[in-house]
Amino acid sequence: MPELPEVEILKRSLKKKIKFCKVAKIKIHNANLRYKVPQLINQNLKNHTVLNVSRISKYLIIDFNFSKKLLIHLGMTGTVHLVKKNNKKYTNASFYHSSSLPKKHNHIEIYFKNNIKMIYNDPRRFGYFKLFEKKYLLNNLIKNLGPDPFSSKFNYNYIKKFIQNKKIKIKILLMNQKFLGGLGNIYANEILYNCKLKPTKSVNLLTKKNIQNLIYQSRNTLKKAIKFGGSSIRDFKKTDGTSGNYQHNFNVYGKNNTNCPRYSCTGSIKKILISKRSSFYCPKCQT
């Protein structure tokens, strides 16, 4: 599943390609995603212009004129492809996919009047499209999401208040979307390594210095991932056709039984399960 950096890269790429473009038509080949895609989506968005492309947590938001907003969640296997008319070359703009346009599972096609076609492909169909014509309806959907890691709301006082009287593992806290929007398993592992915190550490044992470092390392780790174009676990490609390569900079994720990369640490990376998710850490320098 794509995490915040991959969705951020997709957002930035789409913003360059489709901002200020007008929708010519929308074709729905299979409406049966996680939630059924409304057939009237073509009627509602035809001849409407994209004003902006933004991200909230792991959600993409496409803003149209007349206050209409299209929310896209990629689910587990959703990908976005951009195709130019009369050009066989296309760009796979999403995470977890092959380097060639799939022949199956192309569920939605959005045609723009500048001859660009945006294709949504999703083999497992856990992703979804939702159209909102009133801002408060969108706000109702996302109101339970925690702050973005880059938001000023993600600060010491917020964390201290959230973890008060809690005795949960720090890894579980980081992956709780009600606590922090956008993080998943990969970056939670990397952030905790950079903080020198064991993923099983109880949040009630965090010191002020731990919390301040958690804020810093969350932002720093994600910034680096965005800079490197996201993580290509299979074939994530940005809309310029290049692969994300942050996976080459992983310190612990997927590194079971390898030497800890931290200078002067002689430990080795260990894999454990936390809430049925793989967790990687160095028992020697993460405490």
Instruction: Specify whether 161 is located in the same domain as 262.
Output: yes
CB-based contact 280:269 (threshold 8 Å): yes
Asked, for residue 37, whether it belongs to a domain, the answer is yes
Residue 227 sits in a domain of what CATH number?
A: 1.10.8.50
5 is catalytic: no
Instruction: Specify whether 73 is located in the same domain as 113.
Output: yes
Neighbours of 98 (CB within 10 A): 12
Q: Which of 219, 271, 277, 284 is catalytic?
A: 277
277 is catalytic: yes
Interval 188-206 mean pLDDT: 98
Asked, for residue 150, whether it belongs to a domain, the answer is no
Q: Which of 58, 171, 198, 237 is catalytic?
A: 58
pLDDT reading at 161 higher than 80: yes
2 is catalytic: yes
Instruction: Specify whether 200 is located in the same domain as 83.
Output: no
Q: Which of 142, 166, 192 is the last residue of a domain?
A: 142
Asked, for residue 148, whether it belongs to a domain, the answer is no
Amino acid code (one letter) for 140: N
Instruction: Specify whether 120 is located in the same domain as 170.
Output: no
Q: Assign 49 a pLDDT band (cuts: 50, 70, 90).
A: very high
Q: Which of 108, 142, 176 is the last residue of a domain?
A: 142
Asked, for residue 129, whether it belongs to a domain, the answer is yes
Q: What is the pTM of this model?
A: 0.86
Spell out the alpha helix ranges (H) of the chain. Answer: 4-18, 41-45, 135-142, 156-163, 170-174, 185-195, 208-227
Q: Count of domains in the chain?
A: 2
104's CB contacts (< 8 A; 6+ apart) are 123
Tokens for 7, please give them: 């969705």
Asked, for residue 202, whether it belongs to a domain, the answer is yes
Residues 86-142 have pLDDT tens digits of 666 666 676 545 556 788 999 999 999 988 999 999 999 999 999 998 877 888 888
Asked, for residue 186, whether it belongs to a domain, the answer is yes
Asked, for residue 227, whether it belongs to a domain, the answer is yes
273: β partners = 278
Mean model confidence pLDDT for the chain: 88
Instruction: Specify whether 167 is located in the same domain as 240.
Output: yes
pLDDT reading at 236 higher than 50: no
Interval 209-223 mean pLDDT: 97
Asked, for residue 151, whether it belongs to a domain, the answer is no
Q: Which of 113, 142, 171 is the last residue of a domain?
A: 142
pLDDT reading at 248 higher than 80: no
Give the domain range for residue 215: 156-281
Q: Report the pLDDT value the prediction gives residue 246, as an integer from 0 to 100.
A: 45
Instruction: Specify whether 135 is located in the same domain as 201.
Output: no
Q: Assign 233 a pLDDT band (cuts: 50, 70, 90).
A: very low
Instruction: Specify whether 185 is located in the same domain as 128.
Output: no
Instruction: Specify whether 37 is located in the same domain as 75.
Output: yes
Q: Report the pLDDT value the prediction gives residue 100, as an integer from 0 to 100.
A: 63
